[in-house]
Amino acid sequence: MQAPDGNKFLLTRIIETQGFYVGESDDFAVEVEMTRKNKPLMKFLDKRRAQSKGKKGIPLEEVRRQLSLS
C-alpha cells in the first residue's frame, strides 16, 4: 500500500508471535546484559539460528530493490 505522500506500508496478519521482556533501562549496556541473561530469548534465538543454518537469505541490496529503496 502506498500513501499519497509516497510512504509505503505493509499490512499483514500475524498468526504467531512471541515476546521477550528485556527490561526498561535507558542504559543500552544494561539492556544488552539483561538480554544476554534472558534464557528463553537465547533459547529461541538458538533455535532460529539452527533452523536457518545452511539456508541462503535474501541479500540486503535485493530487499532494497524489491522495496524500491535503491
Distance CA 40, CA 44 (A): 6
Q: Chain centroid to CA 47: how far?
A: 15
How would you write the pLDDT of the chain (70 residues) with one tens digit per residue? 788 998 998 888 888 888 888 888 899 999 999 999 999 999 999 999 999 888 888 999 999 999 988 7
pLDDT at 28: 92
pTM, to two decimals: 0.54
pLDDT at 5: 92
